[in-house]
C-alpha cells in the first residue's frame, strides 16, 4: 500500500511540474492530446460559456465573460498547488510518516499539514521530519514550492504584457475603422487620406500585429480568453475586419495596396488557422452570409464615392473564394469564445467609442460636414 502511495505521489509530482513547464516556460504550442491544463479549461469553460449563452448579448455578458480568463489562471495555480501538497504528503506517508509531532501520533492528516507548511516555506516548527527520507522529501518540496511560486510570479507580468501589447492596435483601430471595426469603414476613412501610402503603412503594421498575436497566443492560449476594454471590441473582431479589408483589396484594389493586402492577408489567415488548431476549434460554416450580393454592390459604390478606385470588372466570385479561406475559422472561434464578428458594412449613424462618455456624446464631423452632439450645452 505504501509502495503504491509512493508511485502515485511521484507520478503526480512529475505530471504537475511537466504541465506547469509546458504552460508557463515552453515558448511554443503543445500538440500532445492529453494535458492537465487542457482538460481543466475544457471542464471549466463549458459551463461558464453555457451560462453566458443564457444572457443577452451586450455589456453584461461581455463583463461576465471577462472574469473567466483571470479567474481560470488563479484556479489553475491553486490546483497545481493542492496537487503538489497532496503528492508530497503521499510520499511522506509512504516513507512511514517519520515526523515529530507535539502530543498526537503521526497520521496522513499530519503528513498533509507538514506538506502544506513546507510548500509555502512557513517553517512553523511544530511538526518536523525525523528520518533521512522524510528530511529529503521536505527539502525537495520546499525547493519545488519556492520555485513554482517564483515562476508564477514572473509569469503574470509576461502574460499581461502580451495582453497589453495586443490591445494597443485594437484601441488605435477605433478611430480608423469604427466601433465595432468594419472593413468598409476602414477602407472608407483611409480613402480620404493623401494617397494610398497611409493604408499601405497601416496594413503593414497589422501584418506585424498578426504575427505577434500568433506567437504570443500560441505560447499562452489563455490570452484568447482575455476580453478587451469595450464590449464592441475584441482581438477576433479586429482580425476579422483586417482580413475582410485585405480580401476586398486583393480582389478590387490595385498596385501597392493589393501587394501589401496579400502580405497582411497571408499572415492574418495563418494566425486565425493556427489559433483555431491550438484550441481544437474546427471551422464552422456561417449561418448568415456576412456580405450578400446587394450589400457588396452597395459597399463598392460607397467606397468609390469616397474616392477609392474600385475595379468593377472583377466578378464577385473572386471575393467569395477568398472569404471561404478564412471565414469558417472566424465563425468557429466566434462560437467558441462568444465573440461576435463585425459586419462588412458600416452604420453612419453609430458613434465610435472615443465619441462616447458617461455624461455626453460627441459626434465628429460627418460625411455631410455637420457636427452633432448630445451635449445639451452645445
Interhelix angle 2-20/36-53, nearest 10 degrees: 70
288 belongs to a structural domain: yes
Look at residues 98, 120, 154 and tell me which one is the last residue of a structural domain.
154
The domain containing residue 278 runs over which residues? Answer: 173-350
323 belongs to a structural domain: yes
Judgement on whether residues 214 and 308 belong to the same structural domain of the protein = yes
Query: If you compute the radius of gyration of the chain from its CA atoms, what whole number of angstroms results?
Result: 27
163 belongs to a structural domain: no
Judgement on whether residues 196 and 235 belong to the same structural domain of the protein = yes
Number of domains in the chain: 2
164 belongs to a structural domain: no
Judgement on whether residues 236 and 309 belong to the same structural domain of the protein = yes
Judgement on whether residues 150 and 244 belong to the same structural domain of the protein = no
d(Cα 61, Cα 244) in Å, to the nearest integer? 26
Look at residue 306 in the predicted model and tell me its pLDDT: 80
Look at residue 376 in the predicted model and tell me its pLDDT: 37
Judgement on whether residues 216 and 345 belong to the same structural domain of the protein = yes
Look at residue 264 in the predicted model and tell me its pLDDT: 96
| Secondary structure percentages of the chain, helix, strand, coil, to 5 | 65, 0, 35
pTM of the model: 0.86
Q: 363 exposed, middle or buried (CB, 10 Å; 0-12, 13-18, 19+)?
A: middle
- The tens place of each residue's pLDDT in the chain, 378 residues long, gives 878 989 999 999 999 999 999 888 887 777 676 788 889 999 999 999 999 999 998 889 999 999 999 999 999 999 999 999 999 999 998 988 888 777 677 788 888 998 899 898 887 777 888 888 889 999 999 999 999 989 988 888 999 999 999 999 999 998 888 888 999 999 988 887 666 888 999 999 999 999 999 999 998 999 999 999 888 899 999 999 999 999 999 999 877 889 999 999 999 999 999 999 999 999 999 888 899 999 998 888 888 888 888 887 888 899 999 999 999 999 999 999 999 999 998 766 678 887 777 666 666 655 443 334 444 333
303 belongs to a structural domain: yes
Judgement on whether residues 207 and 342 belong to the same structural domain of the protein = yes
Look at residue 49 in the predicted model and tell me its pLDDT: 95
Judgement on whether residues 114 and 192 belong to the same structural domain of the protein = no
194 belongs to a structural domain: yes
355 belongs to a structural domain: no
Q: 273 exposed, middle or buried (CB, 10 Å; 0-12, 13-18, 19+)?
A: middle
Judgement on whether residues 242 and 318 belong to the same structural domain of the protein = yes
Q: CA 162 → CA 30, 33, 215, 228, 347, distances in Å?
A: 19, 26, 10, 13, 32
Judgement on whether residues 279 and 177 belong to the same structural domain of the protein = yes
Return the CATH number at 73.
1.10.287.70
Amino acid at each position: 500500500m505504501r509502495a503504491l502511495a509512493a508511485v502515485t505521489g511521484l507520478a503526480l509530482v512529475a505530471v504537475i511540474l511537466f504541465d506547469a513547464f509546458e504552460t508557463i516556460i515552453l515558448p511554443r504550442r503543445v500538440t500532445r492530446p492529453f494535458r492537465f491544463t487542457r482538460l481543466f479549461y475544457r471542464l471549466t469553460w463549458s459551463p461558464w460559456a453555457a451560462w453566458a449563452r443564457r444572457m443577452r448579448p451586450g455589456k453584461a455578458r461581455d463583463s461576465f465573460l471577462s472574469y473567466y480568463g483571470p479567474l481560470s489562471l488563479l484556479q489553475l495555480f491553486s490546483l497545481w498547488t493542492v496537487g503538489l501538497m497532496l503528492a508530497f504528503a503521499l510520499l511522506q506517508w509512504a516513507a512511514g510518516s517519520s515526523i515529530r509531532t507535539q502530543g498526537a501520533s503521526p497520521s496522513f492528516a499530519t503528513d498533509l499539514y507538514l506538506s502544506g507548511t513546507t510548500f509555502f516555506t512557513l517553517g512553523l516548527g511544530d511538526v518536523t521530519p525525523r528520518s533521512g527520507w522524510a528530511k529529503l522529501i521536505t527539502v525537495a518540496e520546499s525547493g519545488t514550492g519556492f520555485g513554482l511560486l517564483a515562476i508564477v510570479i514572473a509569469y503574470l507580468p509576461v502574460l499581461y504584457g502580451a495582453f497589453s501589447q495586443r490591445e494597443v492596435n485594437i484601441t488605435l483601430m477605433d478611430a480608423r475603422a469604427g466601433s465595432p471595426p468594419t472593413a468598409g469603414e476602414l477602407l472608407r476613412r483611409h480613402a480620404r487620406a493623401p494617397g494610398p501610402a497611409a493604408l499601405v503603412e497601416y496594413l503593414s503594421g497589422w501584418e506585424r500585429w498578426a504575427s505577434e498575436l500568433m506567437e504570443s497566443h500560441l505560447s499562452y492560449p489563455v490570452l484568447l480568453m482575455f476580453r478587451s476594454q469595450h464590449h464592441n471590441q475584441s482581438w477576433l473582431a479586429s482580425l476579422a475586419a483586417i482580413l475582410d479589408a485585405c480580401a476586398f483589396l486583393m480582389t478590387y484594389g490595385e498596385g501597392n495596396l493589393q501587394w501589401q493586402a496579400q502580405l497582411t492577408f497571408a499572415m492574418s489567415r495563418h494566425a486565425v488557422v493556427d489559433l483555431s488548431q491550438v484550441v481544437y476549434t474546427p471551422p464552422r460554416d456561417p449561418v448568415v452570409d456576412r456580405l450578400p450580393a446587394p450589400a457588396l454592390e452597395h459597399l463598392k459604390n460607397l467606397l468609390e464615392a469616397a474616392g477609392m478606385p474600385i475595379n468593377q470588372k472583377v466578378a464577385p466570385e473572386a471575393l467569395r473564394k477568398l472569404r471561404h479561406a478564412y471565414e469558417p475559422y472566424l465563425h468557429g472561434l466566434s462560437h467558441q469564445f462568444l465573440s461576435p464578428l463585425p459586419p462588412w458594412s458600416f452604420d453612419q449613424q453609430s458613434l465610435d467609442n472615443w465619441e462616447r462618455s458617461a455624461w455626453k456624446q460627441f459626434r465628429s464631423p460627418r460625411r455631410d460636414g455637420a457636427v452633432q452632439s448630445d451635449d445639451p450645452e452645445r
